[in-house]
Structure 1
């Protein structure tokens, strides 16, 4: 009976196993599977049958780690605590959809760029921009396994190249001629000319925890068309609160909203459905709003669409 078993009489002197190392190596050469080797070890153990059920399971797990290791597939997750609900909120607040022309600053390995490209479905461009001497990593984009049509819609260029399309910057074109030509090659001449005509991007998403939100959005917001939405992620509240205040003072946006996404996962099993007892609740913060045109002639703000009417 199991109840009467114990390990008091067992002595670990390495003599209980009759299989030698040579025997195990020979089994490997003959192509024996890990489970077969474990069963052979159990069958040739003089003490396995005398162990308690708990000790038997412990012995089996120990041999499994050595002869039949298993790979545990875990769900991939981005760095900087960008959860799936936070990413969904960023895309929704920026109104990313078919035919959207999206400008992104992606410092989470390409997760944001890939998510935008997936939602666009090859209908328009997602432009990944960066400042500094080197672009940010986009390795995660490869994991999406996009087809060639969608891959052609993912472009990357330095922020200086985009700023060339703004009025009053013609004097910088010669200085950045090579970068400008590279951008035309990557993004397509028509897409580039649309920027020079002042059409702007239809939405902006910034996920750059290492950058100051206000300094970043102040430079990128003029690249948007009027009435275009934007969303910014940061892992701390205060930088976004400061950015929101400055945007209001400068009268650059309307409807600014600071959100804290919250998600709780559930374990769903037969007769055991309940929230996970241990999980990381923090998901960062998201600042969103809509760019507007500032009418400096009468001291107020005016939406471009309203002005047209």
Structure 2
């Protein structure tokens, strides 16, 4: 059974009303917050299990704050309707503001006398001229509305990802770039976030929502690189998830400015100072080009960093770029299409429609932004062509692609290159046999209407056996020459 502890984030709920709060760090400290119309002492819930609580007034205390007591039997306000009649239609009801005889001062006086929320709502029902004329459905809506204001029952739950996503989207969607829970689920699915993988996230205004979702998905197995440019990375929702140290272990923060300097130093080690070359032995392997299995970019202006961050992705890595505006994503879409950086590139808008029990709500949910998604492409046609002349150099490049368990290479739009090679080598019959084998390795048919690319895999023993450069080259040429 989960117990409410100090320095823990909790979510208080009453019907559609909810509030995210953090309990005090020190034991015995009074922590009063406002929830709806009530003042609640949250410190009275410390040490008690999560669940339903009853708001009770302490007559001896000077403070007007209500204390929380675990509730065993919860009385629903729908029981008020058992002994009351209901009408067939609301046509005869005229809302002129005089149907309720109790005034605001009378209700406050009842609250001051210590009446519970159920008793106050019963008084409102008895003093209403039109309540018994309303239909049964209208009576239930009326009680639900009053229960949200005056109910003495609240529920304290341990926050999870779905509840936090709904809470932030309903309270202030601008804080999380209008990211809905269903859109968040699509991002995680399209980025292929799973355990034992390396993933990067650039959170530029989601309060750490996507980062927390990744940590919750991998459950401590893998690595999540939290990328940021200046200041500190956003972690508000990460703290609200109450992650354990084991779940937070995969999280690694990375400043992109410092990362760029280190990567440039790695490429030119001779000019790099000795202090910068030395890395911490206890740290996780540093972030390098081509090591991430998935990448998610969520910000208002992704066009300035999208192409640079794509260099961190491994071959055939999945990426998702989310933005609340269509203009930056349209520019990125055009740029990626021209550069052939991805296959089956798609610009998608997610929409969501909520349904009620009695009737369909015709309004679609608020705009939740758009996102670009698909896989990166690694073109090995030129690499295999150069392999005939420089096998040793090519072997190092191929082994780099094979690192971290990556054995899949995706090709796209190589037909035009093959045609150009045929035209060029048609004038040189002497080398045509050798170059014809190279052409076969680059042929990729696109018979389907959507021009879906074929995914080719190398044998699994490449990662377990030592092979020479010529054996590896022969294997690559042989396997790819069969795919015509």
User: Aligning the two structures, in what range does the TM-score lie when normalised by the shorter sequence?
Assistant: 0.5 to 0.7
Which consecutive segments of 4 or more residues in structure 1 shift more than 4 A?
12-15, 17-21, 37-43, 54-57, 59-74, 169-177, 294-298, 302-308
Q: How many residues align?
A: 279
Contact map agreement 2:302 2:321 (CA 8 A) in 1: no
Residues 254-269 of structure 1 mapped to structure 2, 5 A cutoff:
254-269=342-357
Q: Residues 354 and 364 of structure 2 are in contact (CA less than 8 Å); yes or no, is this contact kept in structure 1? A: no
- Gap change, CA 1:168 and 1:70, over 3 Å in 2: same
Instruction: Give the Å deviation of 1:229.
Output: 1.8
Shift, 1:152, TM fit:
1.3
Distance 2:248 2:363 in 1: 38
Unaligned runs of 5+ in 1: none
CA distance in 2, matches of 1:82, 1:18: 43
CA offsets 1:30-68 (integer angstroms, 9 cap, x no match)? xx434345667999xxxx48x4447999x9999988865
**How far apart are residue 218 of structure 1 and its match?**
1.8
1:218 has 2:301 as partner: no
- Measured after TM superposition, the shift of residue 255 of structure 1 is 0.5
Aligned to 1:204: 295
1:231 counterpart = 2:320: yes
Aligned counterpart, 1:277: 362
TM-score, normalisation: structure 1: 0.67
For residues 190 and 328 of structure 2, what CA distance do their matches in structure 1 show? 19
Compared with structure 1, are the counterparts of its residues 205 and 62 closer, same or farther at alpha carbon in structure 2 (3 Å cutoff)?
closer
Q: Shift of residue 173 of structure 1?
A: 6.7
CA contact (8 A) 1:258 1:285 kept: no
- Does 1:96 find its partner at 2:193? yes
Unaligned runs of 5+ in 2: 1-84, 88-93, 157-162, 386-396, 402-406, 410-471, 477-484
Give the superposition deviation at 1:174: 7.1
- The separation in 2 between residues aligned to 1:88 and 1:60, in whole angstroms, is 34
Over 3 Å counting, the alpha-carbon distance change for 1:150 and 1:165 in structure 2 is farther
Pick 1 or 2: higher relative contact order, CA cutoff 8 A, min separation 6: 1
Aligned residue in 2 for 1:124: 222
1:163-182 alignment, distance < 5 Å: 163=260, 164-165=262-263, 167-168=266-267, 170=269
Question: What is the aligned partner in structure 2 of residue 33 from structure 1?
Answer: 116
Q: Are 1:103 and 1:204, in contact at CA under 8 Å, matched by a contact in 2? A: yes
Matching of residue 156 in structure 1 with residue 253 in structure 2: yes
Give the drift of 1:280: 2.5
Q: Residue 285 of structure 2 aligns with which residue?
A: 191
Q: Cα distance, 1:123 vs. partner? A: 1.0
8 Å CA contact 2:107, 2:120 repeated in 1: no
> Which residue in 1 is equivalent to 2:440?
none
Alignment match, 2:232: 135
> Equivalents in 1 of 2:244, 2:296: separation in Å?
23
CA distance in 2, matches of 1:243, 1:221: 12
Contact 1:121/1:150 (8 A) holds in 2 = yes
Tell me which structure has the larger Cα radius of gyration. Answer: 2
1:7-40 Cα offsets, whole Å, 9 max, x none, are x9x9x9999x99995x974x34xxx434345667
Cα separation, 2, equivalents of 1:87 and 1:288: 13
Task: Give 1:250's aligned residue.
Answer: 339
Change (3 A) 1:175 1:205: farther
Secondary structure of the structure 2 residue equivalent to 1:289:
strand
